Structure formats: C-alpha cells, structure tokens
C-alpha cells in the first residue's frame, strides 16, 4: 500500500539532523530506549530541550508516565545502535552499556553528548507529543556525529 505521507516525509527529511537514543525508566522500573531525530535545543536559561514522541509507538505509555528521560547523541560510527532501538521490540540495554545520572534514566556510555532531563512540559501536537525537558546534567565530546538526511545515515562531518 502506498504511503500517503511519503511526499511530506521526503520534504521533512531534507532537514539534516543528528540521531539520539531517548531512554526512560517506566513505573515498573523497566528501561525503554528509542531512536529519535526530533531533538531541538530550546532555551539556555533555563536549559530546555525538546523531542517529539509519536503517539502510536509501542514506547508511548512508558515515556508518558516517566517524569524524566535521557538523550544520548550518537557518533558517526553508531548507526547499528540507531537501528537497534528503532524496532518494535528493541533488545534490552545491558548494565555495562549505560550509566545513570540524576533522573534515573540511563545514558549510553558511548555517545558524543548526553542530556539528563526532568519533564518540564508535555504538549500534544497532532500525532506526536512534544516532550520538553529541563536539562539537569549534560556533557559533550569532540566526536563526529551520526547524521540523518533523506532517510539515510551519513558520516564524515568533522568535529572541531
């Protein structure tokens, strides 16, 4: 069946983005990890960022009930991690793959930047929810990013 949204997806996809893994811990203490590219920085003071959660994803309830989340920004050689957490039932993270900061949400040990966030606001918007997070801790490195453009991964951008 033809995808009626293909032309709009193609147009949105002309805006190159990075890729991050969003993680949370649900009410049962289970970790959920999801590949996202809708990250946007919002504010410096206070430090706010956002990403958009699709309301049909199997991860929806877990991210909606969690009071925080973490984002791990992927480096150029981490396309396999992006694919791993883009499926319906992603394999669980093993304890040696992550660390926990303030909120309890896990950050991948391999990343070029990390953000630990408490939920600031949730806004329903069409078929997504905008999750605005207050950044309570972050870090960054000089690693080159994994880039997503026109439905494909790209690398090769140099970091200063």
Ligand X SMILES: Cc1cc2nc3c(=O)[nH]c(=O)nc-3n(C[C@H](O)[C@H](O)[C@H](O)COP(=O)(O)O)c2cc1C
Minimum distance, C-beta of residue 50 to ligand X, in the bound complex (Å): 10
Minimum distance, C-beta of residue 60 to ligand X, in the bound complex (Å): 8
76 C-beta neighbours (distance < 10 Å), count: 18
State yes or no: residue 69 binds ligand X (CB under 6 A): no
State yes or no: residue 37 binds ligand X (CB under 6 A): yes
Site string for ligand X, 120-139 (x = CB under 6 A): --------------------
What residues between 79 and 98 interact with ligand X by CB under 6 A?
A: 86, 88
Length of the chain: 160
Minimum distance, C-beta of residue 146 to ligand X, in the bound complex (Å): 9
State yes or no: residue 148 binds ligand X (CB under 6 A): yes
12 C-beta neighbours (distance < 10 Å), count: 12
State yes or no: residue 19 binds ligand X (CB under 6 A): yes
> Are 69 and 119 in contact, with CB atoms under 8 Å apart?
yes
When the beta carbons of 30 and 102 are compared against ligand X, the nearer one is 30
Minimum distance, C-beta of residue 59 to ligand X, in the bound complex (Å): 6
Binding residues vs ligand X (CB under 6 A): 19, 34-38, 51-54, 56-59, 86, 88, 148
């Amino acid at each position: 069946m033809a995808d009626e949204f293909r032309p709009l997806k193609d147009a949105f996809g002309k805006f190159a983005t990075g890729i991050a893994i969003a993680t949370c811990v649900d009410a049962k203490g289970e970790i959920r990890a999801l590949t996202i590219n809708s990250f946007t920085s919002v504010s410096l003071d206070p430090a706010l960022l956002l990403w958009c959660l699709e309301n049909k994803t199997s991860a929806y309830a877990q991210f909606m009930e969690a009071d925080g989340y973490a984002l791990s920004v992927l480096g150029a050689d981490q396309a396999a991690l992006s694919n791993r957490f883009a499926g319906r039932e992603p394999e669980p993270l093993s304890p040696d793959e992550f660390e926990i900061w303030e909120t309890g949400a896990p950050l991948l040990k391999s990343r070029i930047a990390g953000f630990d966030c408490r939920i600031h606001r949730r806004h329903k918007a069409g078929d997504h929810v905008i999750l605005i997070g207050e950044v309570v801790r972050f870090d960054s490195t000089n690693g080159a990013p994994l880039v997503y453009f026109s439905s494909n991964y790209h690398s090769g951008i140099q970091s200063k």
